[in-house]
Amino acid sequence: MSGDAVLRVLVVDDEPVIALCVQAFLEDDGMEVTVVTSGEEALEHVGTGRCYDVCIMDVRLPGIDGATTVARLAERCPGLRFAMHTGSAEYELPDELGALGEIPLLHKPLRDMTPLAATVRRLAGAQ
């Protein structure tokens, strides 16, 4: 990714208020953000040839869960980097996601979104 390119972020979250807050903050930070509400919708987006730099994935989703969606998205878009987003303090990343490199675990609600933007930029720079 070149230094002046706009970061493309895919946010997958079934809670509209959280998704819109994340979208608004990252867009204010100069990123291009697409929000979808399910793993299936995320797979459709990436399956149509769209690719993103970073995906912020909710862990608990209706239908396909976040970890399964991450694994499938990684197959379709090998350069995509991920951060997982959860409201559960006990959640741990499944071992099978370890092969995808660093996947930061972010806890909801994010009272300060500045670290989120920094995490997205750091992940995108690690491609």
Quick check: is 1 in a domain?
no
Q: What is the total count of domains within the chain?
A: 1
Q: Can you give the CATH number for the domain in which 94 is found? A: 3.40.50.2300
- pLDDT tens digit sequence for 27-55: 999 999 999 999 999 999 887 777 899 99
Quick check: is 2 in a domain?
no
Quick check: is 40 in a domain?
yes
Instruction: Give the structural domain span for 66.
Output: 8-125
DSSP the chain: --TTSPPEEEEE-S-HHHHHHHHHHHHHTT-EEEEESSHHHHHHHHHTT---SEEEEESS-SSS-HHHHHHHHHHH-TT-EEEEEES-TT----GGGGGG----EEESS-S--HHHHHHHHHHHHT-
Quick check: is 84 in a domain?
yes
Quick check: is 3 in a domain?
no
Query: What pTM value is reported for the model?
Result: 0.91
- pLDDT tens digit sequence for 49-76: 778 999 999 999 999 999 999 999 999 9
